Amino acid sequence: MLRLRPIVVKRSFNISSILNQSSCKSGTVLNLKIYNKGDEPIAKDDSEYPDWLWNMLDKTKSLNKIKDENFLRWRRIKLSKENGKKIRQNNFVSKI
């Protein structure tokens, strides 16, 4: 019997190029209207948004910035993540 394996295509992409693009075209209605009065928000061109907006999703850049500005805050964030990881691991082991 002949077994067929699925073909896996590996694609390489640069995450920074993806983060620097808007997910919708300019002029698209965003359907984010939260007030009864007023118009629906419309997406702008990427150049009309501030530069810091594109760096918000890149965790390494934001953590490096925090590390440079306030080392104690950065350390507290790292310790909190490590403690959470240990708690999840211990909970997983205790269920076995």
CA distance 79 to 46: 36
Phi-psi region of 59 (alpha: psi -120 to 50; beta: other; left: phi over 0): alpha
pTM of the predicted structure, to 2 decimals: 0.48
Location of structure tokens 């909970």: 91
User: 54 and 38 in contact (C-beta within 8 Å)?
Assistant: no
Location of structure tokens 């999840």: 88
pLDDT tens digits, residue range 37-64? 888 888 888 888 888 887 787 888 888 8
